[in-house]
Amino acid sequence: MKIALLGYGKMGKAIEEIAEKRGHKIVLKVEEDIENYDLDNSKIDIAIDFSVPKAAFKNITTCFKQGIPVVSGTTGWLDHYEKAKKVCEENNTAFIYASNFSLGVNVFFELNQKLANMMKGLEDYSVEIEEIHHVQKLDAPSGTAITLAEQIIEKNPRVNGWQLDDAEKDEIPVYAKRVEDVPGTHTVTYDSEIDKIEIVHTAKSRQGFALGAVVAAEYLKDKTGIFTMKDVLADLFQN
């Protein structure tokens, strides 16, 4: 595949390495306002966006308007997600957004949903989420922590929302810690007077995120519509 990288920071570089190992070619690297680049859809099969929250929506929708499908992992811009989907559909192209492309985290998401379902009737337990990331991270809490919180809210009718730090009784407190070079650690804790249940995912590097994004791009190429990592994993496990 001929890939355009939207964002060439830590993730852009990790994706380049894995994409080239899998036989793909990086044909464009967008590092500033996307209007300064030539987005010729005859030279680009797919764009992979790991940029910054304030640029993501424009990056993604500019590609859609050129008929270029997009895999996006940028976090912190999701207020505009529904609008981005609309632009994708209007231009008859394809889109996958995931707060976390790591295959391990997507297994962790499944586990989180199952655990939330089991815990919903156990009123003695409170639930909280902690995420730890490197100090350069621009957004808090992480997109992954928000996905974990939304999954719990969907399963448990006693939980009505989430808050960074100080939460009401019916909300999930989400704690965001910033520690030097940590690639990403997420913990969901259920606590009672009697005991504590914790599930933890610890990324050891950015390789998992990058591999997942390239696998998602391979899945999305030549498709039309809006997809999620659930579709990618279902396809992967079927083959």
Ligand X SMILES: O=C(O)C1=N[C@H](C(=O)O)CCC1
Binding-site annotation: residue ranges for NAD(+)? 40, 73-75, 98-101
Binding characters for ligand NAD, 89-128, by CB under 6 A (x = yes) = ---------xxxx---------------------------
Residues whose CB is less than 8 angstroms from the CB of residue 37 and which lie 6 or more positions away in sequence, other chains included: 28, 30
Contact characters 178-197, ligand X, x per CB under 6 A: ------x-------------
Cβ contacts of residue 111 below 8 Å, gap of 6+?
199
Residue 186 appears among annotated catalytic residues: no
Q: Which of 137, 155, 221, 223 is catalytic?
A: 137
Whole-number Å distance between alpha carbons of 141 and 181: 17
**137 labelled catalytic:** yes
Q: Could you tell me the smallest distance in angstroms from the CB atom of residue 114 to ligand X?
A: 20
Choose the one of ligand NAD, ligand X, none that binds residue 69, judging by a C-beta under 5 to 8 angstroms depending on kind.
Answer: none
Q: Helix (H, G, I), strand (E, B), or coil: what is residue 86?
A: helix
* 152 vs 129: CA distance, rounded Å: 10
User: DSSP string spanning 3-44?
Assistant: EEEE--SHHHHHHHHHHHHTT-EEEEEE-S-GGGS---TTT-
Does 62 bind ligand NAD (CB under 6 A)? Our answer is no
Which one of 1, 3, 4, 6 is in contact with ligand NAD (CB under 6 A)? Answer: 6
Q: Does 106 bind ligand X (CB under 6 A)?
A: no
Residues annotated within the binding site for (S)-2,3,4,5-tetrahydrodipicolinate are 134, 143-144
CA distances from 191 to 119, 177, 196, 197 (A): 11, 20, 4, 6
Distance between CA 168 and CA 165 in Å, rounded?
10
Interface ranges with ligand X (CB under 6 A): 75, 99-100, 133, 137, 142-144, 184
Interface ranges with ligand NAD (CB under 6 A): 6-12, 30-34, 50-53, 55, 59, 73-76, 98-101, 136, 209
